[in-house]
Structure 1
């Protein structure tokens, strides 16, 4: 019986050098737990050269069912032709993304006006897997990969101290926000008016930040990674565009028909002073407003789970748990459930997409309001990057703390949930808390991150 091909490689806690060795190959992907900068990470997945690609560029679909059928046929081929290992989180298979605009198509029926494909799924027969708990690294391939190619890849990955990129990244203009303070105030007041009128309970309002750059976005990712490591980070290169995600948030994980989602609602800045940092964390934990926001989104996600899961199995395992990351503290909850027999893992992902923590409640109406009020497109931001292998093993992030590089422009976003008792200045500051460290890290590679007085002077 055929088995996975597994070739040991030297373990490196910083696995970015493995990605650098293969990033010149077609459609390289780095699913990065950022273990070199964080003790939360375990698995890193590095791959390139997919054997099949499906995206909104290649599929003409009009509704969710059509898309599900097309993707389901591809995923069935993975289950049929790909070998799974029970001890691995991924054995080869699908890696891709769903953009926020894809969610607008599904939920609102809106026609996309996006610079990137609204979804992209590629099937990878080989990958490098780094296990930081076991301090083990392997090149793993499905039996269908030729021995010749496996030998070539092994040789490519052996000199893992890859030379640095000759195309150094640098900003060539300051970041400019789509919603400076005056415009943000108008948008905030519109959201509050909808909430006061009873249209919704919460709306996630975001700001876009854009600058020009020159050089290799991979260098920007390494700089961001060092500043804001997060367990659901990713770098994806599509040739004409690159995605840089430093996400701390899981959207949906699946294994053996068990689902888990971990929404984040509630954010506080970190401090270098231990006492002040502890005080900031305690204040967040005791914030009635932030806890109420988190619980509201937990209720929304429990409803999303009810579309795919056996009702009696949907459980809130943790509520408003404090988790501390490199630049911020967050409140994180955990909801689990068991899939019904007729539902698939990918259909469950679509049922939860886009994630409630970055839309609001109720989801459909919140998304309508976002579409009306925000002057920019969200693109990858608030979408999801995911993998899905044989036997339905899946994990996915919510692509917050994320940037898109395209046509020498780098664009990032930051947002926060607006509720009835939200305070304008506090919400504006929260958006800057979430993105300021990232913009400052990029500024170290070029110009200052942003020059308008709203950013220089905290409200």
Structure 2
């Protein structure tokens, strides 16, 4: 069933409100950003015909079988700590969320929005449309201020970055992504209300609202991890960040400074090399290429340096095998990949979990698309634990104090909607 409505933003808001009542919900929104690889502007999946919850051990194999049994639309997430299944690694840090390592579901109802067309895939599409139409929009309530606590003080963070730089000087690694958690205990939020505010304050091309049971992911991600279109794979790592300026001329200068900054260029090109290497595991020989290097893209709070790496996929590989071959994404690990993951497990103070993982979908035409879970709030409503991670690339030229400020910049939108410190 394909329909059109007069005012699309109003419909999207009511559709998400309707979907969020289900025990399982996935909302993916491009927020109007131009993307040549996107199949839709918005996807809304509600209710689960069947689902898969898996932990590190044989999670990818379980997903492979689940996908084989369910070849239609499927959405879900992959947690960063699946690294322990891909490589001989462990995760021993504090985990306040207790999310599974992998969760996917086959939706009862699916809504795809592209331009002005709204496609409803359901056994009862008219009933779904009517249920959305009669929704009375809930007026957004102001969030009671919540202050997030850091796992590192500023001084501890700076000291740790300098310890990591010592590893770089010794040749243990070239570039890594060091992350810190900001968290709140006994936090009470309205997840849908908070996501709506976050998406308004920080609209991004890979925003996501994901719910299963009492657990929530409220995402404002700007980054694509990996997509497949026909026989083509696309990865778009982000490395390089500059603050937006209110003055137009100063803002343009910030973009130019980012475009020519040695440290930002260095971290981006090293991650591009890592992504190219990861893609060779799934690529036809000789097809891996960098389609765009050092592209500068502007978002509400930051300018980002984004590169695009593509290849043709090998015959005979399943989509789950392709995803596993590149997981976790290079932009959130570093190079050499395994050594970086080992060292960050040592220096970080919290389990990353879904942060640094991916949310996305598999479609009936054998394509898929996954984001990178960054700029995201994670919430367990049973134990009232609220978590936000921020990270940055550490290279030989990194200045620890600047890296700390970049973490705070990336947290700006989240802090704004929480109303705390």
Q: TM-score range by the shorter chain?
A: over 0.9
Query: Which 10-residue stretch deviates more, 108-117 or 361-370?
Result: 108-117
What's the counterpart of residue 65 of structure 2?
73
What's the counterpart of residue 418 of structure 1?
394
Is the contact between residue 377 and residue 414 of structure 2 (CA under 8 Å) also seen in structure 1? no
Q: Supply the distance in 1 between the matched residues of 2:365 and 2:16 (Cα, whole angstroms).
A: 26
Is the contact between residue 101 and residue 112 of structure 1 (CA under 8 Å) also seen in structure 2? no
Is the contact between residue 11 and residue 137 of structure 1 (CA under 8 Å) also seen in structure 2? no
Whether 1:135 and 2:116 are equivalent positions in the alignment is yes
Deviations 1:131-189 (A, max 9, x none): 1xx32222123xxx3xxx44432321222543347xx4634542111112111022112
Map of 1:353-432 to 2, 5 A cutoff? 353-406=327-380, 407-432=383-408
SS for the counterpart of 2:307 is: strand
Whether 1:202 and 2:175 are equivalent positions in the alignment is yes
Residue 331 of structure 1, aligned match among 305, 311, 326: 305
Q: Supply the distance in 2 between the matched residues of 1:31 and 1:46 (Cα, whole angstroms).
A: 7
Residue 111 (structure 1) shift = 5.6
Q: Supply the distance in 1 between the matched residues of 2:69 and 2:4 (Cα, whole angstroms).
A: 29
Residue 313 of structure 1, aligned match among 276, 284, 287: 287
Superposed CA RMSD: 2.0
SS for the counterpart of 2:365 is: helix
Residue 98 (structure 1) shift = 0.7
Residue 268 (structure 1) shift = 0.3
Whether 1:97 and 2:102 are equivalent positions in the alignment is no
SS for the counterpart of 2:87 is: helix
TM-score under structure 1 length normalisation: 0.85
Residue 311 (structure 1) shift = 2.2
Q: For residues 304 and 402 of structure 1, do their structure 2 counterparts lie closer, same or farther at Cα, with a shift above 3 Å needed?
A: same
Q: Supply the distance in 2 between the matched residues of 1:351 and 1:246 (Cα, whole angstroms).
A: 25
TM-score under structure 2 length normalisation: 0.92
Unaligned runs of 5+ in 1: 1-5, 83-92, 451-459
Whether 1:18 and 2:11 are equivalent positions in the alignment is no
Which 4+ stretches in 1 moved above 4 angstroms? Answer: 38-42, 111-114
Q: For residues 184 and 111 of structure 1, do their structure 2 counterparts lie closer, same or farther at Cα, with a shift above 3 Å needed?
A: closer
Q: For residues 439 and 173 of structure 1, do their structure 2 counterparts lie closer, same or farther at Cα, with a shift above 3 Å needed?
A: closer
Residue 107 (structure 1) shift = 2.5
Q: Supply the distance in 2 between the matched residues of 1:410 and 1:68 (Cα, whole angstroms).
A: 27
Q: Supply the distance in 2 between the matched residues of 1:243 and 1:94 (Cα, whole angstroms).
A: 17
Is the contact between residue 108 and residue 368 of structure 1 (CA under 8 Å) also seen in structure 2? no
What's the counterpart of residue 282 of structure 1?
256
Residue 194 (structure 1) shift = 1.1
What's the counterpart of residue 160 of structure 2?
187
Is the contact between residue 116 and residue 379 of structure 1 (CA under 8 Å) also seen in structure 2? yes
Deviations 1:243-298 (A, max 9, x none): 01100000001021210000000000101110111010110001121111111001
Q: Supply the distance in 2 between the matched residues of 1:11 and 1:441 (Cα, whole angstroms).
A: 29
Is the contact between residue 404 and residue 410 of structure 1 (CA under 8 Å) also seen in structure 2? yes
Residue 9 (structure 1) shift = 4.6
What's the counterpart of residue 457 of structure 1?
none
Q: For residues 102 and 130 of structure 1, do their structure 2 counterparts lie closer, same or farther at Cα, with a shift above 3 Å needed?
A: same
What's the counterpart of residue 45 of structure 2?
47
Q: Supply the distance in 1 between the matched residues of 2:347 and 2:92 (Cα, whole angstroms).
A: 16
What's the counterpart of residue 269 of structure 1?
243
Residue 197 of structure 2, aligned match among 203, 218, 223: 223
Deviations 1:20-57 (A, max 9, x none): 0221112011111123xx56685100111111111126
Whether 1:347 and 2:339 are equivalent positions in the alignment is no
Q: Supply the distance in 2 between the matched residues of 1:437 and 1:245 (Cα, whole angstroms).
A: 11
Q: Supply the distance in 2 between the matched residues of 1:240 and 1:373 (Cα, whole angstroms).
A: 30
Whether 1:178 and 2:154 are equivalent positions in the alignment is no
Unaligned runs of 5+ in 2: none
Aligned length: 410
Whether 1:8 and 2:3 are equivalent positions in the alignment is yes
